Structure 1
Amino acid sequence: MTVDQVATHLADYCRKEQFTQALKELYAENAVSIEPVEFPGFDKETKRLAAMMEKDRKFSAMVESRHGTTVSDPLIAGNSFCFVLTMDMKMKGRDREKLTELCVYVVEDGKIISEQFFM
C-alpha cells in the first residue's frame, strides 16, 4: 500500500473505532508507539506489534462508554502522515471527556512503523 492508502485506511478505521483491526492490518511487526506522557500501567514507548495490541486491549478495558470519534483528513508528507483524532468517551471512574490529539505516523514498505501522539 502507498502512504496515502495507509493513511486513508487508518483514518477510516479510527472513525469507526476499529483500532484493533487497524493494528492487525496496517502495522509492521516491529512498529513503535510513543505517548505524550506516561500513564499508570502504560509505558511512554511501546515496541513491537504484540505489545501494542496488548496496550490497545488494556486501554479499551478502561473505557466505560464511547460517544463518538472524529478524525480529520490526513496530511501526507513523504513517508509520513498525520491527522487530528478526537474521542468523546467516559473512562471508568472519571467524567465524560473529549480527548484530542495530533497523531503522527511513519510508513515503510506499506506498513506503519511508528506512531506518536501529541496532546
Structure 2
Amino acid sequence: MNTQEVANKLVQLCREGKNEEAINELYHDRIVSREPQGAHMELTEGKKAVLDKTQQWLNSLEEIHSSTISDPVVGENFFSCVMDIDATYKKYGRMPMSEVCVYEVQDGKIVSDQFFYKTS
C-alpha cells in the first residue's frame, strides 16, 4: 500500500472503532509512538507495546459520547488527521479532547506516529 492507501485504511478502521485492528494491520513491528512531553507513556516502541498502550487507554474509559476523525492529509510518506473525542474517563470524569495525529509510512506500514494535544 502507498501512503494514501494506508492513511485511508487507518481512518476507515478508526471510524469503525477498530483501533486495535488498525494497529495489527497497518503498524510496523518496530513502530515508535510519541505522546506530548509529560504525557503518560510519552514514548512507546514496538507494536505489542502500542497495543498495550491502546488497551490501557480503552480500560480507562467509562463511556465514549462521540468521536470523529478527519480525512487524512498526505504529503510524501507522511499523513496527518485530527481526532476529536468526547469521553468520560473513570479517573477524570467527562473530558472532550482534540488531537493532531502525524504518521510516517515506509514500505506500506506505519513506522512512527506522534500525537499533539493539550496535556493540562
User: What residue is the counterpart of 2:10 in the other structure?
Assistant: 10
Distance apart, 1:61 and its partner CA: 0.5
User: What residue is the counterpart of 1:106 in the other structure?
Assistant: 104
The alignment's TM-score, normalised by the length of structure 2, stands at: 0.92
User: What residue is the counterpart of 2:54 in the other structure?
Assistant: 56
- Tell me how far apart the structure 2 counterparts of residues 116 and 95 of structure 1 sit (CA, whole Å): 25
Contact 1:64 1:92 in 2 (8 A): yes
1:88-110 deviations in whole A, cap 9, x for unaligned?
Answer: 11110323221100000000000
- Tell me how far apart the structure 2 counterparts of residues 116 and 7 of structure 1 sit (CA, whole Å): 14
Which stretches of structure 1, 4 residues or more, deviate above 6 A after TM superposition? none
User: What residue is the counterpart of 1:24 in the other structure?
Assistant: 24
Contact 1:15 1:71 in 2 (8 A): yes
Distance apart, 1:43 and its partner CA: 2.1
Unaligned stretches of 5+ residues in structure 1 = none
- Tell me how far apart the structure 1 counterparts of residues 3 and 113 of structure 2 sit (CA, whole Å): 14
Determine what percentage of the aligned residue pairs are the same residue: 36
Contact 2:99 2:115 in 1 (8 A): yes
The alignment's TM-score, normalised by the length of structure 1, stands at: 0.93
Secondary structure at the aligned position of 1:36 is classed as coil
